[in-house]
């Protein structure tokens, strides 16, 4: 049996807890108003469910945020990255910080990247296949060959 994972922001959950704590709303009203799970809200309000769910990540949040910043920056300037390029960024980071114990050969696995994308959905649309980047470079090359210069 697959467990349905509720999708809500931490900010919404915090606001719901605050509304119940300040007696502005009942637990049921807060759950509905902020679109959060009533049972999870109750557990968090009682202090029973304070930690994160699931296995710990290989990197702390600040390091993952740096990876996301690099990937989104590259996409913002029109240089989307492939999975292999992302793997290379992670590998370089691990080599530079002398962390040789996380992944075999310091290269992340596809499963790690899937989970990373799940934790940071903003990067999902920035990752390109090798074929799409090749096609993109061919389009630019043809455009310049035709004399389409700016200015």
Say whether both 35 and 104 belong to one domain: no
- Its domain, for residue 122, covers 61-145
Candidates 127, 124, 110, 117; CA nearest to 74 is: 127
Say whether both 106 and 68 belong to one domain: yes
**∠ Cα 51 53 54 (to 5°):** 135
CATH number at residue 18: 1.10.10
Say whether both 68 and 141 belong to one domain: yes
How far apart are the C-alpha atoms of 35 and 6, rounded to whole Å?
A: 9
How far apart are the C-alpha atoms of 32 and 35, rounded to whole Å?
A: 5
pTM score:
0.56
Asked whether residue 1 is domain-assigned, the answer is no
Kindly tell me if the per-residue pLDDT of 24 is higher than 60. Answer: yes
pLDDT tens-digit map of 35-74 = 998 988 888 888 776 666 667 788 888 999 999 999 999 8
Candidates 65, 38, 59, 43; CA nearest to 120 is: 65
pLDDT tens-digit map of 111-127 = 999 999 988 988 888 77
pLDDT on residue 37: 87
Kindly tell me if the per-residue pLDDT of 150 is higher than 60. Answer: no
Say whether both 110 and 67 belong to one domain: yes
Say whether both 20 and 92 belong to one domain: no
Asked whether residue 35 is domain-assigned, the answer is yes
Instruction: Give the residue carrying structure tokens 């996301």.
Output: 68
């Amino acid at each position: 049996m697959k467990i349905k994972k509720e999708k809500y922001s931490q900010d919404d959950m915090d606001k719901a807890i605050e509304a119940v704590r300040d007696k502005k709303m009942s637990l049921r009203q807060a759950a509905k108003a902020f679109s959060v799970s009533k049972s999870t809200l109750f557990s968090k309000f009682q202090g029973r469910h304070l930690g994160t769910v699931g296995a710990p990540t290989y990197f702390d949040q600040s390091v993952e945020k740096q990876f996301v910043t690099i990937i989104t920056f590259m996409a913002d300037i029109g240089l989307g990255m492939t999975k292999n390029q992302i793997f290379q960024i992670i590998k370089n980071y691990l080599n530079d910080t002398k962390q040789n114990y996380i992944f075999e050969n310091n290269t992340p696995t596809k499963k790690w990247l899937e989970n990373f994308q799940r934790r940071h959905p903003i990067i999902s649309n920035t990752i390109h296949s090798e074929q799409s980047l090749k096609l993109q470079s061919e389009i630019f090359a043809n455009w310049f060959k035709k004399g389409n210069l700016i200015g």
